[in-house]
């Protein structure tokens, strides 16, 4: 996909702050430090559009990125970070749940998991929320370059089995370092999201 104009539209915490656009939202969810910001920067060929932090739990807002007035990338707050207070976790959880159930232009929530590890209970819970509002699961297995070639097939099978993926579900191995998965991801966006109008919610 040829990308010309990309901008951070708003960092929102309430529905009345969401951008009023009629093109689809593609949202990214995952554990803190799973690589959401690195993935977004790599997909958009920008170095620091989405802020990459060495400290998990830094994204406390829903960040909307406008891509060529045809799609929004939406960076949701990371979950599962132990050092965040229970009250903060509850607030972030409500923020994500409100977005998932009220955003009429939401096309798909992409679940990011670390390819090096077994998906956690938090990952499985997030996927159950995704299945409530999306027709399929789309999972990106990040940090794929950190696996030895001999480990990669088993790692992907482990994700598929643990998350019980099947049918129309999609899994994309991804590396923000090597670029693995970038082309496959954009093929998915062009064929499934943009060509279909991208809206699963009413």
Q: 1-51, pLDDT tens digit by residue?
A: 678 899 999 999 999 999 999 999 999 999 988 999 899 999 998 876 765
- Quote the pTM value: 0.89
CB of 199 closer than 8 Å to CB of 24: yes
* Cα dihedral across residues 132, 80, 66, 110: positive or negative: negative
Q: Which residue is it, tokens 């590890």?
A: 117
Strands 25-30 and 106-114 turn out to be parallel
- Which residue ranges make up each domain of the chain? 6-194
Using CA atoms, how far residue 107 sits from 36, 56, 82, 202, in Å, is 18, 27, 30, 10
Q: Residue 14, SS3?
A: coil
The domain defined by 6-194 folds into Rossmann fold (3.40.50)
Q: 105-149, pLDDT tens digit by residue?
A: 999 999 999 999 999 999 999 999 999 999 999 999 999 999 999
């Amino acid at each position: 996909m040829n990308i010309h104009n990309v901008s951070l539209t708003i960092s929102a915490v309430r529905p009345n702050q969401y951008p009023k656009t009629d093109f689809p939202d593609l949202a990214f969810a995952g554990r803190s430090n799973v690589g959401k910001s690195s993935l977004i920067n790599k997909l958009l060929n920008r170095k620091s559009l989405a802020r990459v932090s060495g400290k998990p739990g830094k994204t406390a807002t829903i960040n909307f990125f406008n891509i060529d007035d045809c799609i929004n990338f939406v960076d949701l707050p990371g979950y599962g970070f132990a050092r965040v207070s229970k009250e903060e976790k509850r607030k972030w959880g409500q923020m994500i749940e409100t977005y998932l159930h009220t955003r009429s232009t939401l096309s798909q929530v992409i679940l990011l998991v670390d390819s090096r590890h077994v998906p956690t209970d938090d990952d499985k819970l997030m996927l159950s929320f995704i299945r409530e509002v999306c027709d399929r699961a789309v999972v990106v297995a990040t940090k794929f370059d950190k696996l030895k070639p001999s480990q990669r097939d088993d790692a992907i099978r482990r994700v598929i089995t643990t998350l019980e993926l099947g049918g129309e579900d999609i899994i994309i191995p991804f590396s923000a370092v090597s670029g693995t998965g970038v082309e496959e991801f954009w093929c998915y966006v062009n064929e499934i999201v943009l060509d279909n109008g991208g809206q699963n919610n009413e």
